[in-house]
Amino acid sequence: MYEHTLTDGTVWLTRPTGADIDRIVECCQDPEVQRWTTIPAPYHRSDAEEFLDKVMAPGWASGSPTWAIRTVENGRVEGMIGLTGRGAGAGEIGFWLTPDHRGRGLMSRAVALVCDFGFAADGLALDRIGWRAIVGNHPSAAVVRRNGFRYEGLARSGGVQRGVRVDEWHAARLPTDPPGPVDWPEHPTHP
């Protein structure tokens, strides 16, 4: 798969490069990024180098792209978003954003761009984009709810975070689902 830059004029999604390593390391020191994602903790320069070499390159080659989130064209990295292949016609979205850019709608814009690309016939032509998060990650849930992801349930001990089993929320969007906000159960920690 060849590289695709995605933009709506407010957010730019580009493939991260070696020039971004120091910024990625800086961003991944954020306790909230470490709390809700599966990045190594503590996070070192060697982790960013390995991410670019062993995740990014093979991911783009196999149709599982990851983009750096930037707020200006060719600007510094402010987050990451990716689609990981989950079998024929399915992908799973994952993302994080730096603290000073949270709550401004940037991640919702990035998710919309990635979903559009994921479902497009000239993009990845996916039939399903899934999402999962550790129970309690309300900001992530709010982003996918705003982008039309339907709540599918609670997976008790469904994930592993640094060797510990954790409960996860699951949601998904199909290409036939409208992209706008959807309602979820008031207390999605219960089945």
Residue-wise pLDDT tens for the chain (191 aa)?
A: 678 999 999 999 999 999 999 999 999 999 999 999 999 999 999 999 999 999 888 888 888 999 999 999 999 999 999 999 888 899 999 999 999 999 999 999 999 999 999 999 999 999 999 999 999 999 999 999 999 999 999 999 999 999 999 999 999 999 999 989 999 887 666 54
Domain extent for 84: 6-173
Q: CB-based contacts of 78: which residues, under 8 Å, 6+ apart?
A: 27, 69, 70, 71, 97, 98, 101, 106
Whether residue 24 is contained in a domain is answered as yes
Whether residue 187 is contained in a domain is answered as no
Whether residue 178 is contained in a domain is answered as no
Whether residue 40 is contained in a domain is answered as yes
| pLDDT at residue 191 in the model | 42
Whether residue 65 is contained in a domain is answered as yes
90-97 and 128-134 strand pairing: parallel
**Residue 42: is the preceding peptide bond cis (ω within 30°)?**
yes
**Domain CATH number, residue 70:** 3.40.630.30
Q: Using CA atoms, how far apart are residues 128 and 119, in angstroms rounded to an integer?
A: 8
Whether residue 114 is contained in a domain is answered as yes
Query: Roughly what angle, to the nearest 10 degrees, separates helices 138-146 and 106-119?
Result: 50
Number of domains in the chain: 1
Whether residue 66 is contained in a domain is answered as yes
Query: Are 110 and 143 in contact, with CB atoms under 8 Å apart?
Result: no
| pLDDT at residue 187 in the model | 63
pTM: 0.93
Which residue intervals of 67-124 are DSSP H helices? 106-119
Whether residue 78 is contained in a domain is answered as yes
| pLDDT at residue 1 in the model | 62
